[in-house]
Each structure stands twice: as C-alpha cells, then as structure tokens.
Structure 1
C-alpha cells in the first residue's frame, strides 16, 4: 500500500510541477509527459473516443507522438481501436509479424517512426467510455508489474481529467476542450458528406478517401476535413 501511495504521489508531482496543474488539454499534456517519464517510454497520447462517434487526438507528450497517435485515426486501425471496443488494455510488447497481420497498415507506419511496442488503456468508468491512453516505446518488451500499475493509475487520472473538462465546458458554455474535439469530429462528418456527394460514393468510402488522402500527403485527418468543408479541397476536381 505504501509503495502504491508513493507511486501516486510521484505521478501527481510530475503532473503539477511547480504550479497547480491546468485544466483540460493542458492537464492531459502533463499527464502524457508524466506517463512518458514514469514508464520509460518515448511518448504517450490521449485520444477521445465515444460511443456517440467522437474520435480524435486530445493531447500528447510531444508533436512527434501526436502524429503517431493520429495515424490510428488516419488509417482506421491500431491498438487504440481494439482497446476501446474490447474495453480492455491492449498490450503489444513486440510490433512483429503477429501485429502486422492484425494491423497491416498501422504497424509499418509506426515502425518508420522507430516505435517497437505500444500499450493502450481504455479510459472508462462503469459504462462510460471516453477514450484511450496510448504509451509508445522504441524498444520491445513487456511492462513490468509496477509499470502496468503505474499505467493504470495514469489512465485513471486521464479519465478524471476528461470528465472534469467535459463538466466545466458544460457549465461555462465555452466550446473548448472535449467539446472542441467533438466539434472537430462533426467537421469530419460534414466533410464525409461533401466527399460522398462529390464522388457519388457511399459514406464509408468517402471516409476511406479522406483517410487515404491524409496518409498519402502526410497531413492530419482533421486538417484535410477542414479544407474540404472550407471548399479549398474538392475531391471531384482534384481527384486525390
């Protein structure tokens, strides 16, 4: 019990630093940095994923990790999808042949970034699911029992921060934080509808075209969606 209390205290001190931890994305950025430090990882990210359809990266320890985290949404596959749907951690200590068969597009993409292990933890409380915490390592290998416990603590802190941010946004009426992420997803859905009309394809294929364009051009999916909605990118005319 004392060891657990010491671990929680260390995580809190890393998150708060010299000042009280900020709200929303600022807090979750610090959570991701703390996860990276305490788990000897190369980076960590938190993504919002809800049953209502919200999908997107919310915070990351650094810009490189943010891009790696975003890949799962660009490609539509990866450990975070499995952790969210199964409601259980997905621990991948070796991104090898078995993982390649499971995620044929995701594994080569993260390999190019030097990632060799990924650990995904669903952010949930009872029946409520809000997202996933992903921890990335550049060396293969299992998490130790102590590291696994630490990761679960970090996941709990992340879940609490998302809930707090959601409640704060609801009370203040300010459309930032979690609400802003959901707004980005709504923009993506609008872009899907526009591409569906432009190309005369089903809605599912429209999303596939958006993802393929983002991946091929090394761009974030939400940036591509924003250009489509703003009519700066026309799939019928540009034939991407």
Structure 2
C-alpha cells in the first residue's frame, strides 16, 4: 500500500487534540482528511458514544454529514449505532436495500441524498469510544485498500483519543474535545421528563424520540422545546 497519498490523514490523526486559536477542531481535521484522502468517500463523521442517549459529534466534514449524524441520533438506529453496539464495522454500499433493517434512518438519510454508509467502531479491546463513519452520495462499496485505510484510521483515532485523555489526566485536568454537536440538552430534558412523569430515563427518552420522529423534527429541537416549556409531553401516548 502506498502510504504517501495518505500522509495527511495520518498526520491529522496524530496531531494534538486541541490547539488554541486553530480554526478547526482536531476531529474536524480528521474528518476533512478522510474525505481528501479516500477517493470514494464524500463526507465523514467522528462521534463519541456511550449509550443510546449519550452522544457527541466531535467532527463532521460538512453540514450534510452533520445532518446525517443528527438523523441517526433521532432515529436511534443506523450503521453507526450498530457498529458501536457490535464493536465491528458495518459496511452498507446501498442504503436503499436496508430500509427494513433501519426503516427510520434509511428513509430519512436517502431523502437527503445519502446512498452508502461505512461505519467503523472506535474501540480498543473492551473499550468502545464511538464511531468513524464515511458517507457516499452514490451507491457502491469501498475498494479494499480504502476499507483497510478506514479501519486503520479508526484504530489510530481510538489510540489518539486515549493518548490525549491520558495526557490530560496526567496534567490534572479533563480531556474535553470540542464537539460540533452536543446532545446534552437531550439528557437534561430526558431527566426532567422522567422526574415529572415518574417514568424511567429510557421511557422518557423514547417519548422524546417518538415525538420528534412523528413530526419530522430532530430530538435535539424537541428537547429544547421541552426545556423552554414550549411543549409538554405528558400525554399517555405521543
């Protein structure tokens, strides 16, 4: 494998996580380098995940990629969700044939022009941090060399995140990379609903998600409406 064309990607991953004054975050640079380096990739997403309710999008190569990350979070399903849960890559060369597998996400993603998604878990042994997701606007698989590069990029990204976290811990402060999209408001709204309605956090989150999905809105927008008391989700069924 000729690594020379891929050097910008490896350099981006190996760079310091956060440099004051830099316009793009480290994760943004990684996503942009994926798109520049991998010829069959149109966009990239780097997301931290810990459970179905907790996610932060650290990087997205463009607004389209960020939109697809939000659609997947709202639907609660898709290649990234599955790759994180299984710990194995989920490669989807034609999203149109996966509408039974992920009915909510696939329909919404196809509607905004996504045709193929390739999700690689950020994992080291039993440690799972999130996903690196590569997107295409046209159907088709990744060439074998690009699959290998993407898998290596995910492994190196995992190692880089763990290294930055360790260095921050050694310095006595938290490692807190800047997300481009945080769903913290969803967590707060979920807790508020759970307390108000005396239901579990999972049930409260499901209520938020169902309301968002039924109205073709993002769960983040619905959560903010709940926090601002513009809507109330206290009916028996939504």
The answer to whether the Cα contact below 8 Å between 1:8 and 1:153 also exists between their aligned partners in 2 is no
Structure-2 residue corresponding to 1:108:
107
Q: Deviations over 1:88-143 (max 9, x none)?
A: 1000001123x111001111100011111000000011211100111000111111
- Cα distance in 2, alignment partners of residues 77 and 52 from structure 1: 9
Higher helix share: 1
Which residues of 2 match residues 127-146 of structure 1 at below 5 A? Answer: 127-146=126-145
Which residues of 2 match residues 35-114 of structure 1 at below 5 A? Answer: 35-39=34-38, 40-50=40-50, 54-97=54-97, 99-114=98-113
Structure-2 residue corresponding to 1:196:
194
SS class of match (1:154): helix
CA RMSD of aligned residues (A): 3.3
Report the Cα offset of residue 4 of structure 1. Answer: 4.9
Stretches of structure 1 lacking an aligned partner (at least 5 in a row): none
**TM-score (norm: length of structure 1):** 0.79
Report the Cα offset of residue 147 of structure 1. Answer: 0.7
- Cα distance in 2, alignment partners of residues 90 and 209 from structure 1: 28
- Cα distance in 2, alignment partners of residues 128 and 173 from structure 1: 21
Structure-2 residue corresponding to 1:159:
158
- Cα distance in 2, alignment partners of residues 176 and 136 from structure 1: 26
The answer to whether the Cα contact below 8 Å between 1:198 and 1:235 also exists between their aligned partners in 2 is no
Structure-2 residue corresponding to 1:150:
149
- Cα distance in 2, alignment partners of residues 172 and 187 from structure 1: 27
Report the Cα offset of residue 47 of structure 1. Answer: 1.2
Stretches of structure 2 lacking an aligned partner (at least 5 in a row): 19-23
